Amino acid sequence: MNRKFSIIILALTGLMLTSCMSVSFSGDYVLREGDTLRGSLFVTSGSVTLEEKSRVTGTIMLTSGELHLGKNAWVGEDVVLTSGELFLADGAVIQGNVVLASADIKVHQAPGATVKGSLTTNIAPFVISLATKGLLLYCVLPIVILIALILALGTWLGRQSKKRVQTAQAPAMVTAEDTKSRLQYLKKMLAEGLITETDYEAKKSDILSTM
């Protein structure tokens, strides 16, 4: 049961902390064709390339360099650039906003590319949102839920263990009752003269040894 409990906790930990994950790089980063990065991506001093049909479920933030979204690449939240350029190939999708630190940052968007949110140079709301909501929603809340589930599992396993102990004790109580009856019957036989004192003591020892 301890092994099963450990496996459950590890699985829940991986599940709950998935949304809290982020990857940070200094240098060029390439997400290979068809791969998925679950979480956010933060890159400093380098370029980012999402190859065809690759996915990032969170936010992409690039402080310096170029961001290339290949054909049918997908970003689940915002794309934030403090400098550099953004290239969107045909079929690329950004579910959130494109936030640019300045109007000098160029965006090259193919006709079939889609930005579901807005393109803005006002980075302040993003920073405030990241500071106030991001930590709570993507890190604190999953950990709180994880702790609650661990406590619930611990309580359930404790009850199951208590039931097993009670079940295991039940046969012992029956055995003790049976032993008492046999000793009483043996004493009655001695009182009626059906067995000798020696027989009584020998049989008594046999019965007590089985407890």
Q: Give the integer Cα–Cα distance in Å for 65 and 84.
A: 5
Q: Residues 76, 97: contact at Cβ < 8 Å?
A: no
pLDDT in tens, 144-171: 565 566 556 656 666 666 666 555 555 5
pLDDT at 103: 85
Whether pTM > 0.85 for this model: the answer is no
Q: How many CB atoms lie within 10 A of CB 94?
A: 25
Strands (E), the chain: 22-26, 29-31, 36-37, 40-44, 48-50, 55-56, 60-62, 66-69, 74-75, 79-81, 85-88, 93-94, 98-100, 106-109, 114-115, 119-120
Domain locations in the chain? 2-122, 146-205
Which whole number is the average pLDDT over 17-39?
A: 75
Q: Give the integer Cα–Cα distance in Å for 11 and 196.
A: 68
pLDDT at 118: 92
Cβ-Cβ contacts under 8 Å for 91 (sequence gap 6 or more) = 71, 72, 73, 112, 113
- Per-residue pLDDT at 206 exceeds 60: yes
pLDDT category of residue 91 using cuts at 50, 70 and 90: very high
Rounded-to-10 torsion of CA 175, 181, 186, 190: 150
pLDDT category of residue 54 using cuts at 50, 70 and 90: very high
Which whole number is the average pLDDT over 60-65?
A: 86
pLDDT at 146: 58
Nearest to 9 by CA among 137, 136, 141, 143: 143
Higher pLDDT, 150 or 58: 58
